[in-house]
Amino acid sequence: MLARHSVLMVVVFGMVLSGLIYLNNIQCRLVYKQPDVLAGRTDVASVSPWSAPIIWEGNFDSALIDSIYKQHNLTIATTVFAMGKYTRFVKDFLESAEEHYFVGFRVHFYLFTDQPESVPEVKMGENRTLTIQKVPVLNRWQDISMSRMEKLEKLIETELASKADYIFCLDVDTKFYGRWGAETLGRLVGVIHPYLYNVPRNQFTYERRPASKAYIAAEEGDYYYAGAAFGGSLEDVHHLTRTCREQLSIDAANSIEAVWQEESHLNKYFLLNKPSKLLSPEYMWRGISEQAAPIKIVRFTNVPKNYAEIRPNP
Ligand code: UDP
Ligand code: MN
């Protein structure tokens, strides 16, 4: 009786195993368009001078990328801050993320806010969670924006180690309109700013005063990166946030605040520590109705806001 039972178990186990092998084969045999060696987009650069890919619509196959990354059972931590009146953006941010952001992947959102009670109920999909952390509000918008570096540094140290594979840190006054998926994953990821992708580097709004740690000379710099979105591996983003937090506090001790606060320091960081992947302005656009020739799809945009009404100070 026992022997027959074990034979049955072996047979069932064998069937499950061959099913898995069969499934795995199907995955390997995903049919997709042959990669072309000679054709591709010619209206944009798809690689940086240090050979980092620049991600544009038309240069990747979403189904193929998803099938590669899904095998790794990844968790993507995503942080967002909503302090003071910026809580009004949370609903659209989260709802649009549910529709477009890493669909089918495990995503853990961390929302920092001074008003946890104001966070709306958003129905999260399978394997997607939201953790709310209460933080005290600061008086100046510049301080709120800058303080994110320190908060992120601490979050990675205390919460995320071994709980996530990648992290993205995003502005909340934003909304997703198109796919943002595994094509964006990399060790260190920056987004090219939507207003400065086509101007000479001496016109970039880098910090130009040598007294600041964020200083970049007129003849230096690669791209102008948005402060509203960056990401990468936990280790690399930890190093980024720690460095920017240190440089911000050195500036504060010297009574200087970089022209675009932590965005200026992020740009200095990316000059010295080149991103391994760059996202085109499709991934941080000016608004859903704005058009520009190279932008074939708007994936993620700024939401227009009345600065005087929404910010706690001018
Ligand atoms: N922020 C906030 N409350 C404020 C000011 C800023 O929560 O009163 C956060 C919010 O996450 C916002 C980010 O800081 O997305 C950056 O500030 P803001 O969007 O005003 O800067 P901008 O994108 O206009 O340069
Ligand atoms: Mn913003």
Kindly indicate the confidence band of residue 7, based on its pLDDT and cuts at 50, 70 and 90: low
pLDDT surpasses 80 at 20: no
**How far, in Å, is the centroid of ligand 2 from the Cα of 222?**
22
Looking at residue 138, its pLDDT comes to 95
Which residues have a catalytic role annotated?
A: 263
Q: What is the pLDDT of residues 107-139, one digit of tens each?
A: 999 999 999 999 999 999 999 999 999 999 999
Strand-pairing partners, residue 133, are 112
Looking at residue 29, its pLDDT comes to 83
Q: Can you list the positions of beta strands (E) in 2-74? A: 54-55
Q: What is the pTM of this model?
A: 0.91
**Crossing angle of helices 234-253 and 141-155, rounded to 10°:** 140
Kindly indicate the confidence band of residue 162, based on its pLDDT and cuts at 50, 70 and 90: confident
The reply to whether ligand 1 has any atom less than 6 angstroms from the CB of 191 is no
- Per-residue pLDDT averaged across 233-262, rounded? 98
Looking at residue 187, its pLDDT comes to 98
pLDDT surpasses 50 at 10: yes
Q: What DSSP element (H or E) covers 10?
A: helix 2-28
Contact between 283 and 191 (Cβ < 8 Å): yes
Calculate what percentage of the chain has a pLDDT beyond 70: 91
Calculate what percentage of the chain has a pLDDT beyond 90: 90
Closest residue CA from atom 15 of ligand 1:
171
The reply to whether ligand 1 has any atom less than 6 angstroms from the CB of 149 is no
- For residue 259, give the ligand nearest its CA: 1
**Crossing angle of helices 141-155 and 261-272, rounded to 10°:** 50
Looking at residue 275, its pLDDT comes to 99
Reduced to 3 states (helix: H, G, I; strand: E, B; else coil), residue 239 is helix
pLDDT surpasses 80 at 26: no
Calculate the average pLDDT of the chain: 93
Tokens encoding 199: 């101007």
Between 82 and 2, where is the model more confident?
82
What is the distance between the alpha carbons of residues 146 and 245, in angstroms, rounded to a whole number? 8
**How far, in Å, is the centroid of ligand 1 from the Cα of 262?**
11
Q: What is the pLDDT of residues 281-292, one digit of tens each?
A: 999 999 999 999
pLDDT surpasses 80 at 17: no
The reply to whether ligand 1 has any atom less than 6 angstroms from the CB of 89 is no
Q: Ligand 1 pocket: which of 93, 94, 112, 145 to mutate (most atoms <8 Å of CB)? A: 145
Q: Is the dihedral of CA 105, 76, 286, 270 positive or negative?
A: negative
**How far, in Å, is the centroid of ligand 2 from the Cα of 61?**
29
Q: Ligand 1 pocket: which of 78, 81, 138 to mutate (most atoms <8 Å of CB)? A: 81
**How far, in Å, is the centroid of ligand 2 from the Cα of 303?**
8
What is the distance between the alpha carbons of residues 210 and 51, in angstroms, rounded to a whole number? 29
